[in-house]
Amino acid sequence: MNSDRGPEESSAHTLVRLADVALELADPADDVRGRKVVDRNGDQVGKVDGLIIDEAERRVRFLEVGSGGFLGLGEHKQLVPVEAITRVDEDAVHIAPERTQVAGGPAYDPDLEPERRYYDDVYTYYDYPPFGGPYPR
């Protein structure tokens, strides 16, 4: 059987923006979109613009964090693994990495569909193991 999908695509989970699929969080109270993101020093990093989910497991894998800009123009976006979350309260999502580390992370463009390697690179950047284990590079 011939397949157009490479080994990386066939073994990897599909990650999608929650806003782009017809799925909802099991508990709407868990939806942190729109909350500010605060680092371990109490500095504001940005706000949660979106959630990246593993479609197969229906689990959130990344926060899409937007910072800078005005009314969405000139805004920078970074992904932060959910493993970096230290706590969530009514107003904010608190993360372990500092604001400067997030700002220096791999750039994210929500209009492009990243390859699996990009997500692995984000995990590596923040020093977390990739979900589902390492994949061939």
> Domains of the chain: which residue ranges?
15-125
Question: Is the model's pLDDT at 73 over the cut of 90?
Answer: no
Per-residue pLDDT band at 5 (split at 50, 70, 90): very low
Q: Which residue has the higher pLDDT, 136 or 132?
A: 132
Distance CA(9)–CA(85), nearest Å, equals 28
Torsion on CA atoms 16, 61, 123, 87, rounded to nearest 10: 140
Buried b (16+ CB within 10 A) or exposed e, 15-25: beebeeeeeee
Backbone angles phi, psi at 77, to 5 degrees: -120, 140
Read off the pLDDT band of 10 (50, 70, 90): very low
Please state the pTM of the whole predicted model. Answer: 0.82
The pLDDT score that the predictor gives to residue 31 is: 92
CB 89 within 8 A of CB 43: no
Residue 55 has pLDDT above 90, yes or no: no
Summarize the confidence of residues 105-128 as an average pLDDT: 91
Rounded CA separation 15/52 (Å): 6
Mean pLDDT rounded to a whole number for the chain: 84
The span from the CA of 82 to the CA of 76, in Å, is 19
CATH of domain 15-125: 3.90.50.10
CA torsion angle 72 77 83 87 (round to 10): -30
pLDDT surpasses 60 at 91: yes
Give whichever of 43-47, 51-55, 67-71, 74-78 has the largest mean pLDDT.
Answer: 43-47
What pLDDT, on the 0 to 100 scale, is given for residue 6? Answer: 37
Which segments of 1-137 are extended strands (E)? Answer: 15-17, 36-38, 44-54, 59-67, 76-81, 85-88, 92-95
Query: Is the pLDDT score of 35 beyond 50?
Result: yes
Q: Look at residue 87 in the predicted model and tell me its pLDDT.
A: 97
Residue 113, pLDDT above cutoff 90 = no
In order of 1, 12, 72, the CA distances from 61 in angstroms are 32, 13, 23
